[in-house]
Structure 1
Amino acid sequence: MKFKTVALASVAGLLGLAALTVGTLPASAQLPQEAAIRKSLGERLSSLPKIDEVNKAPVAGLFEVLIGTEVFYTDAEGAYLIRGEILDLKNKRNLTEERIAKLTAIDFDSLPLKDAVVWKTGSGKRRIAVFSDPNCGYCKRFEKELTGMKDVTVYTFLIPILGGDSPDKAKAIWCAKDSTAAYRNWMLEGTAPPRPLGDCATPIERNIELSRKHRVSGTPAIVFEDGVRVPGMLTADQLEKQLVASSKG
């Protein structure tokens, strides 16, 4: 696992605030610790996004604050908010990185693969799932990187989240006589899929709900068989390395 240099920074840049210290209001002693921290941070940072979870951090006196897939830390009073990583120097482990990996992991076998556009190379014995928007430039670049991969099956969940005509393109791709050819022709060659004739049921809404369930907020998002999830595009070399690592995992 990559071992990074710790960099603690104010969350001010993320939230448009002026300082790391967010006041000195005492958390109510009558509230449970988690509720007290939520209340305290909410009162001090009105622009703070919705807090999903508050848990004890691996360092005494600190608490972990989860907002989506981002991990922050705070004190017991909710008087400070820290954006950065906790490193276990003795065991040379990046505890924050490990936590994020656990939070973003997806059980591959639980994915509704019937709702995906599928294609493979060779034996197809190595599997990945990709959340993709038809108008996503990085998704198109990633699709090109995939063309040279060996023995891979790719399951693509269409999630038109970029606006514009993404929903129309996603529907046209799924409803095409050959959805795989329609998807790849569009992503690789820029050949627009034909407009669907009549009504055509699609899994697009289910795919969007699936992405929300797993907090997928950008495309591409790549899921490997061991549950590892990588946000963003990978080169062919990077993909091959992760495929090997995931097979060992």
Structure 2
Amino acid sequence: MKNWLANVEYFKVKVVKQIAVNSLALAALMVGSFTHAADDAAIQQKLNTVLGLEVESVADSPVPGLVQVSTDRGFFYISDDGQFLLQAVVLNIDEGMRNETEVAMTALRLEGVKKMAPSAITFKAKNEKHVISVFTDISCGYCRKLHNEIGELNDKGITVNYLAFPRAGLNSENYEEMVSVWCAANPQRALTNAKAGESVDSASCNNKVAEQYMLGQKLGVRGTPNIILPDGSVIPGYQPADAIVDVLNQAG
């Protein structure tokens, strides 16, 4: 009888201990999930207060120990603890050297240009086959060279959405001139005239020039023209109309 009671007490203790262990494990999982959310908030705050970066989004990265952050100044990776910031290209060896950074940037480009399309200055093709978005500056020599071929691009079925990227920044005469172009009664004609070197009549209105410039900053635009293709890939500079058409046709 004593042995039987002893066995009962033993199993009772064992069950209680197992329940305690399971409860601790569940608590740890719950704390872990809350900690991750808190880390994201801490990362955003640190990037803002220490580096002055406005964080658009935080997401998991393909690399353990790193998260990817999209900011108003570009795309970065940062360690989970918020200590190390990297501006890098991540290549996936096991997937044929797939550029994981470019995959993420492609999605950001497509989302950004879609949002800004209504405020773009558009040169529309009659028989539209493709739509490209071009960050442009009215004083840029190669932007002017590309614009000289706008008729050829349109004839080949390519609609061009121009987005403003005043290279001198938002506190510049260049910016004010581009606002005047975007606010002109006929923005297409004003842009063409400005790129031909003609003076720009001053004009003002509610416009998205600053937002377009900031989008370019976010997407890592460093020079103009910067051509974003329908699949989200980018041509980071001038290419003749025929070369652009060839790239579009190859992409389908």
Which string of whole-angstrom CA distances, capped at 9 and with x for unpartnered residues, describes residues 108-151 of structure 1?
A: 6655547524354x744433233333223342233245454333
Question: Structure 1 residue 191 and structure 2 residue 193: aligned?
Answer: no
Q: SS of the counterpart of 1:53? A: strand
- State the match for 1:209 in structure 2: 211
3-state SS of 1:105 partner: helix
Residues 81 and 110 (structure 1 numbering): CA distance in 2 closer, same or farther, change over 3 Å?
closer
Do the aligned partners of residues 81 and 209 (structure 1) sit closer, same or farther apart at CA in structure 2, a change above 3 Å counting?
Answer: closer
Contact 1:106 1:223 in 2 (8 A): no
Structure having the higher helix fraction is 2
**Deviation per CA, 1:193-243, whole angstroms, max 9, x where unpaired?**
5x37xxx6656x2343355467466643434344x2637423025522442
Q: Output the CA distance in 1 between the equivalents of 2:112 and 2:78.
A: 30
2:176 is the counterpart of 1:167: yes
AA in 2 matched with 1:244: N
Q: Indicate the SS of the match to 2:198.
A: coil
2:3 aligns with: none
Amino acid at match of 1:101: T
| Contact 2:122-2:162 at 8 Å conserved across structures | yes
SS for the counterpart of 1:100 is helix
* Structure 1: gaps spanning 5 or more residues: 1-28
Whether 2:109 is the aligned partner of 1:104: answer: yes
> Bigger radius of gyration, 1 or 2?
2
1:30 Cα offset (Å): 9.8
Unpaired runs of at least 5, structure 2 = 1-34
Structure-2 separation of matches of 1:83 and 1:147: 38
The Cα of 1:89 is off from its aligned counterpart by: 0.8
Identity percentage over the alignment?
23
Cα deviation, residue 38, structure 1: 4.3
For the residues of structure 1 that align with 2:108 and 2:192, how far apart are their CA atoms? 31
1:95 aligned to 93, 100, 110, which one?
100
My pick for the range that moved more, 96-105 or 53-62, is 53-62
When normalised by structure 1's length, the TM-score is: 0.62
Could you tell me which amino acid in structure 1 is paired with residue 197 of structure 2?
Answer: G
The one of 227, 234, 239 equivalent to 1:222 is: 227
Q: Which whole-Å deviations, capped at 9, do the CAs of 1:9-33 have from their partners, x for residues lacking one?
A: xxxxxxxxxxxxxxxxxxxx79722
Q: Secondary structure at the match of 1:175?
A: coil
Contact 2:143 2:225 in 1 (8 A): yes
User: RMSD over aligned Cα, in angstroms?
Assistant: 3.9
Q: Does 1:156 align with 2:162?
A: yes
* Superposed displacement of residue 90, structure 1: 1.3
Paired residue total: 208
Out of 73, 80, 93, the position equivalent to 1:76 is 80
Work out the CA distance in 1 between the residues paired with 2:115 and 2:134. Answer: 14
